[in-house]
């Protein structure tokens, strides 16, 4: 037998070894909670999920997609071809070995590209350690295979060399296979399984009408354990998802908390969760430490508590998250970091009551007042006294139900709402509010882990909404929009919910509002996470701003890849200190555009960005800008009427 003839057996050995090793992980995953998985549908969808969904994310970093296609493609192709080499006729064919050689050549070319991302200096977001050594094993397998097969293709002139290269290939290949349980290559096997058994299969639907599958999944409040105390409290396919992480660090690079020096890195978190499930330690970890890392014991276990200074992850890490989903949006492995964080928070809040100090107040107010500021529900409409704001009584109807949200309690938010209401009046819209029957939508409670309060509010709001008739719900709060649109259906409330930017854009397009151009002003639009990333709405606000004749400049991060203002997910309530503040970073990005106005579309973003001190662009909600333009067109015509002549006594 020529040395090359051993290659197919090497592949078989690798498959067996990898299978055994992966089997250990499968046993771990089975320690998680049960989850319903439609295997057939998942398998059917796998090629598209991999070739379209994953590729689209990977391809945002061209160096990654250019590297991954040849290295993975070459590896799979060479391995596949080699298995065919068990057929004796093929093993004797020079043409066959030429094909194998070419496949290895493709892989080796890919390995060179992999190496260039890591040597001499790895890219900042990449993990080192075993990840840094990964290209070496790939190179050993690829180069060894290449030379061995290549020599076979030209008639095996140097059997001694072939033997040496076979050994090198075997060394690399078996190491790769062995690493299937704990090494970098795990991402491929766990990743593929994850794509099949994904906990949010409809995130791959790409049907914008159905939403983006970003709503949190509810839990049974009668379950024995609420939320995740230990890795075993996660659904099994969530444990699988953690194993799929490729530690590319895209999540970390996008994470606003990480940027602000708060002790959160989504990559580190997922690595910790993967390590915890197998009883590992949070070291070794090849990435950056959590910024301003809080000390933890770092010991994990499938049945050991995760969140604790004595556990794997410090509580400050999960409370730093703004739930902005930037990590999820950037993850090529389709991992759902925010789901994991909320699941961990749920246990802290519901089982331990261990919420950050400042988060106790809103949660306590929620229980007493059905809203987080401790204000009476009847006060929600106070701000609109003097404006026409019809309140729907049970049985009454209106075309548009205006959901006021938290903004109605806040002086700044009230400005936006007044502008919106005046626009509605000018456009002749038939609108009304729920008045004191509107409770808080529960967004903050849910994201702070208080699922019980959220579910109660959801049910009560759904009952109130069911007592009146309307066609659409309109809101200026993307958080309320998200909850009403994506999270209430699980409780029986399904509504057509529209954000005010989209609604107003419709009004302008239909000619119901005729704004005058606000020319000569450079603006930049800040996408609210809960509108853009969570709900895919990035175009309507821009269309509206363009209709106002404003010079629109884009920040480097915008649209679905925009950066968070720091205001979501209860992060302002948790208030975990870092080196700087997220809104300061975001405002810095806005300033770089040279815009004099930051257009916003969310009361949280408004509050966070306006809280930035010093010289900065002004912050205006899109509705405020529109109302300004509508007023300008109204006053442009009858300007002199105020200079009426002295009145004649009748």
Q: Which residues bind other proteins (CB under 8 A)?
A: 375, 379, 382-383, 385-387, 409, 411-412, 414-415, 418, 610, 642-647, 649-650
Least distance from other proteins to the Cβ atom of residue 391, Å: 12
Least distance from other proteins to the Cβ atom of residue 641, Å: 12
Give the whole-angstrom CA distance, residue 10 versus residue 83: 9
Least distance from other proteins to the Cβ atom of residue 384, Å: 8
- Which residue, among 478, 484, 496, 424, has the nearest Cα to 603 in the 3D structure? 478
Beta strands 551-553; 597-600: pairing state: unpaired
Task: State the Rg of the chain over Cα.
Answer: 29
Helices 94-118 and 130-153: crossing angle in degrees, nearest 10, is 160
Give the whole-angstrom CA distance, residue 17 versus residue 34: 27
- Those residues whose C-beta lies under 8 Å from the C-beta of residue 398, and which sit 6 or more positions away, are 390, 392, 430, 431, 432, 468, 469, 470
Q: How far is CA 128 from the centre of its chain?
A: 24
Closer of 208 and 382 to other proteins (Cβ): 382
Closer of 368 and 386 to other proteins (Cβ): 386
Least distance from other proteins to the Cβ atom of residue 382, Å: 5
| C-alpha neighbours within 13 Å on the C-beta side of residue 121 | 2
Q: How far is CA 133 from the centre of its chain?
A: 29
Closer of 224 and 648 to other proteins (Cβ): 648
- Which residue, among 539, 543, 530, has the nearest Cα to 603 in the 3D structure? 530
Closer of 275 and 565 to other proteins (Cβ): 565
Closer of 290 and 409 to other proteins (Cβ): 409
213: left (phi over 0), alpha (psi -120 to 50) or beta: left
Closer of 220 and 646 to other proteins (Cβ): 646
Least distance from other proteins to the Cβ atom of residue 439, Å: 19
Closer of 220 and 648 to other proteins (Cβ): 648
Closer of 383 and 503 to other proteins (Cβ): 383
Q: Which residues pair with 174 in a beta bridge?
A: none
Least distance from other proteins to the Cβ atom of residue 634, Å: 13
Give the whole-angstrom CA distance, residue 265 versus residue 252: 5
Least distance from other proteins to the Cβ atom of residue 256, Å: 25
Give the whole-angstrom CA distance, residue 218 versus residue 405: 22
Least distance from other proteins to the Cβ atom of residue 617, Å: 15
Closer of 376 and 509 to other proteins (Cβ): 376
Query: CA of 199: how far to CAs of 125, 193, 217, 451, 508, in Å?
Result: 26, 11, 10, 19, 40
Closer of 205 and 379 to other proteins (Cβ): 379
- Those residues whose C-beta lies under 8 Å from the C-beta of residue 258, and which sit 6 or more positions away, are 252, 264, 265, 266, 291
Least distance from other proteins to the Cβ atom of residue 425, Å: 12
Q: Which residues pair with 497 in a beta bridge?
A: 473
| C-alpha neighbours within 13 Å on the C-beta side of residue 52 | 9
Q: How far is CA 510 from the centre of its chain?
A: 34
Least distance from other proteins to the Cβ atom of residue 367, Å: 21
Least distance from other proteins to the Cβ atom of residue 616, Å: 14
- Which residue, among 251, 256, 241, 272, has the nearest Cα to 331 in the 3D structure? 251
């Amino acid at each position: 037998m020529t040395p090359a003839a051993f290659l197919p057996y090497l592949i078989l050995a690798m498959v067996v070894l990898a299978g055994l090793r992966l089997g250990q992980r499968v046993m771990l995953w089975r320690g998680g909670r049960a989850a319903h998985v439609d295997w057939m549908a998942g398998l059917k969808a796998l090629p598209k999920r991999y070739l379209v969904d994953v590729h689209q994310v990977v391809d945002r970093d061209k160096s990654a997609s250019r590297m991954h296609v040849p290295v993975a493609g070459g590896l799979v192709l060479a391995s596949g071809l080699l298995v065919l080499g068990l057929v004796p006729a093929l093993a004797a064919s020079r043409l066959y070995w030429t094909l194998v050689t070419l496949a290895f050549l493709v892989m080796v070319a890919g390995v060179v590209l992999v190496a260039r991302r890591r040597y001499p200096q790895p890219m900042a977001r990449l993990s080192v350690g075993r990840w840094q050594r990964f290209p070496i094993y790939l190179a050993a397998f690829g180069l060894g295979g290449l030379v061995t097969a290549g020599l076979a293709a030209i008639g095996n002139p140097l059997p001694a060399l072939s033997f040496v290269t076979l050994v090198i290939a075997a060394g690399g290949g078996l190491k790769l296979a062995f690493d299937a349980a704990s090494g970098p290559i795990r991402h491929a096997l766990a990743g593929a399984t994850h794509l099949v058994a994904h906990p949010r299969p409809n995130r791959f639907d790409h049907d914008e009408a159905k939403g983006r599958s970003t709503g949190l999944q509810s839990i049974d409040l009668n379950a024995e354990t609420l939320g995740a105390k230990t890795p075993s409290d996660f659904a099994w396919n969530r444990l699988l998802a953690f194993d799929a992480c490729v530690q590319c660090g895209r999540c970390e690079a996008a994470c606003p908390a990480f940027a602000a020096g708060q002790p959160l890195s989504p990559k580190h978190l997922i690595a910790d969760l993967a390590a915890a499930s197998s009883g590992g330690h949070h070291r070794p970890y090849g990435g950056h430490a959590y910024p301003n890392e809080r000390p933890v014991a770092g010991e994990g276990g499938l049945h050991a508590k995760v969140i604790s200074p004595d556990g794997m992850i410090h509580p400050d890490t999960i409370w730093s998250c703004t739930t902005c989903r930037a990590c999820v949006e950037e993850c090529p492995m389709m991992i759902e970091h925010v789901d994991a964080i909320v699941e961990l928070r749920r246990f802290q809040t519901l089982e331990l009551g261990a919420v950050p100090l400042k988060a106790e107040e809103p949660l306590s107010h929620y229980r007493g007042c059905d809203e987080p500021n401790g204000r009476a529900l009847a006060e929600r409409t106070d701000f609109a006294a003097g404006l026409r704001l019809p309140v729907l009584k049970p049985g009454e109807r209106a075309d548009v139900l205006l959901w006021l949200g938290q903004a109605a309690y806040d002086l700044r938010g009230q400005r936006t709402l007044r502008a919106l209401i005046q626009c509605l009046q000018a456009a002749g819209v038939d609108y009304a509010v729920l008045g004191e029957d509107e409770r808080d939508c529960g967004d903050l409670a849910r994201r702070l882990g208080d699922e019980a309060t959220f579910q109660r509010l959801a049910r009560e709001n759904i009952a109130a909404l069911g007592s009146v008739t309307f066609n659409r719900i309109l809101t200026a709060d993307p958080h309320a929009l998200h909850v009403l649109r994506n999270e209430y259906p699980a409780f029986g409330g399904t509504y057509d919910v529209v954000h005010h930017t989209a609604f107003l854009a419709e009004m302008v397009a239909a000619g119901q509002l005729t704004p005058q151009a606000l020319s000569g002003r450079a603006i930049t639009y800040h996408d609210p996470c809960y509108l853009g990333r969570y709900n895919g709405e990035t175009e309507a606000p821009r269309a509206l701003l363009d209709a106002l004749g404003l010079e629109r400049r884009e920040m480097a991060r915008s649209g679905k890849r925009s950066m968070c203002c720091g205001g979501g997910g209860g992060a302002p309530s948790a208030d975990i200190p870092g080196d700087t503040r997220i809104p300061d970073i975001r405002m810095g990005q806005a300033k770089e555009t040279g815009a004099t106005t930051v257009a916003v579309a969310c009361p949280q973003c408004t509050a966070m960005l306006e809280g930035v001190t010093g010289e900065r662009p002004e912050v205006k909600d899109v509705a405020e800008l529109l109302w300004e333009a509508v007023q300008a067109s109204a006053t442009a015509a009858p300007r002199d009427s105020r200079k009426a002549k002295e009145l004649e006594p009748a």
